[in-house]
Amino acid sequence: MCNENEKIVGLRAEVERLRKELAEVREQLAAERQRRTELEQAKGSAPAPTEIAETPVVITEYEATLRRVVQRTAMIVQAEKCVIMVRDEETGDLVACKPAWGMTDEEVRRFRVPPDVGYSGEIYKTGKPAFLEDASASPRARLEQLHTYGVRNALSVPLILEKRDENNQIVDRVTVGVLHCFNKRFEDRFNEEDLRLLERLARNTAAVIANIQIYMQVVEEKQKLAHTIESLSAGILLISPDGRIAQMNAQARAIFQIPSHLDPIGKPYQEVIRNEQAIAILQRKMQELMNPSLAESHSTPVEERAQQNEITITDEDEDQYIYQVHAALVRESADKLIGTVFIFNDITDIRNIERMKTEFVSIVSHELRTPLTPMKGFIQMLIDGLEEGWLTKEEQREYYQIIQENVDRLSRMINDLLNVSRIERMGAAGIEMNWEITDLRKAAEVVVNTQKGRTDKHTLVIDFEPEHIEVETDPDKIQNILQNFVSNAIKYSEGGEVRIIARQEPPSEEFPQGSVRIGVKDQGIGLSEKEIKRIGEKFFRSDNKKVRAVGGTGIGLFLVKHLIARHGGYMWVESELGKGSTFWFRIPLRQPKQDEVAKAS
């Protein structure tokens, strides 16, 4: 009996303590409400006296704000648990928000339901509050398994955001979530007074949630924009009106070789950007934008204007890159300037192609004129000799052979140009092939016999294992590949051995029917690593003076690369400056059947 009396006394003391806390909280809320009312009245737009004024949310501390909301709500209505649910924009589900009162993070994580299911869904859908007397007996509560969270009873209200006009009239109501209070303390049940308190608190909570959602959307959009700017292939630089860097993406930092440990934001751009040409363009662009009368005259040729807005930057590897600079003013409003944004577009490849095309036209003109000159000369000699009768049959045959060789040279050059055009339109598939089983050694012997007559300083060697390798190929095309490699080996070496190597290889995952590895090795001038990377590019020719001294159009290896690809193979180069090069390629022994190609595609 004594123990029960002691328990009763203890419970009464606990109830009294909680009542005092509740009274204090209510006084705080009343004081806060009065203060907000006075502030709003001072601004000339006081809220309705029955409404709890919206408490401004410190967005950067939204978790702490939510924690205070659920904690105070639980204390006011004497609930053991309190949690807020909001709608997930991606899935549409109602999901619990952290932090919650009286629930673990794991419970909050798995507390989610569709918006039209169960007890929570009903409140969200109807926009009306509800009491839950017995969670274990309610079909709606069982649908979302509230009993697994230790819920016995509940009082829940929808979180409705009210939008008002200038006259403080409600013009729109949007349900943003649900506020749950679970398990009334002391085995009691929630009552109408709790409901009225919770509805008032819900108005403030809805505003808090709405502010947080707006903030999160802004943060998300800002992050997306920041990631987009950071990942752009063009360099982006924003300079504030006081000449300091306000934004600089990864590409811009790479262009101006800014170390990763250096943060350029807030620093004067002259201290960060060390390229004098770039600084001059930035200064000129800013002056022109602020004073349009200083802008370039439209009478200036387009090419000259374009060059005036280009900068050339040399990186650590001594590679040069050309960037075109565009600029624009960025304003927050008509009278507020944020700064000047600069965009740096890499046009190195465009300028290189323009240069190579110009060189190509010049080289092709020269290459076409080269065979035409002797052809014209020998034709004139044939005409004069036949008319005057001094030309012998042997001399005629020799002149005709020279003319025929130059015609063949012209024909090969024209065919190369036509093939380049086909490849540009259709890729390697644009090259027509006449497939047949070909003895590679015989093809190599034809090449050697042709090239022997063009040099007396080189030794041409055929090195095959096995001696005869049969490959399904186009005989003319495989000879073209070898002719190009051997011709280059002779042109770009002053003498020594030129070796044609072939090795038959067993079946592999890459080439199930086996393959052959073919290479042409010379003892010539060799290639740098930078040049090796560009082998096979259209119109590319090395800047080496010895290479430039030798004629060529820069399309030979481009065609060879695509001929090898047409065989289903690939090429690569091994080289060392001053010690020679080996041009390798690998092709399958047999081409896949058409039905196999169709299945693979």
List pLDDT tens digits, range 144-166.
889 899 999 999 999 998 877 78
Rg of the chain (C-alpha set): 42
State residue 307's pLDDT score.
65
Peptide bond before 301: cis, by omega within 30 degrees of 0?
no
Tokens linked to 305: 């204007």
Name the maximum alpha-carbon separation found in the chain.
152
Q: What pLDDT is recorded for position 573? A: 94
Q: What is the dihedral sign for C-alpha 358, 361, 365, 371?
A: positive
Do the beta carbons of residue 215 and residue 62 sit within 8 Å? yes
> Taking Cα atoms as reference points, which of 521, 519, 510 lies closest to residue 589?
510
* Paired sense of beta strands 458-465 and 496-505, if any: parallel
CA angle 55, 60, 66 (to 5 degrees): 55
Predicted confidence (pLDDT) per residue in 445-468, tens digit: 999 988 887 788 899 999 999 999
* 459, HSE (Cβ side, Cα atoms, 13 Å): 5
For residue 218, the model assigns a pLDDT of: 77
Q: What is the reported pLDDT for 214?
A: 77
Distance CA 405, CA 411 (A): 10
CB count in 10 Å sphere of residue 477: 22
Reply yes or no: is the peptide bond before residue 129 cis, omega within 30 of 0.
Answer: no
pTM: 0.49
Secondary structure of 275-302 in HEC code, one letter for each residue: CHHHHHHHHHHHHHHHCHHHCCCCCCCH
pLDDT in tens, 464-490: 999 999 999 999 889 989 998 998 899
440-452 and 475-491 helices cross at what angle (nearest 10)? Answer: 40
Quote the pLDDT of residue 554.
65
Q: Phi first, then psi: what are they for 436, rounded to 5°?
A: -160, 160
Which residue numbers in the chain have pLDDT < 50?
Answer: 1, 4, 7, 11, 39, 42-60, 302, 594-601
pLDDT of residue 163: 78
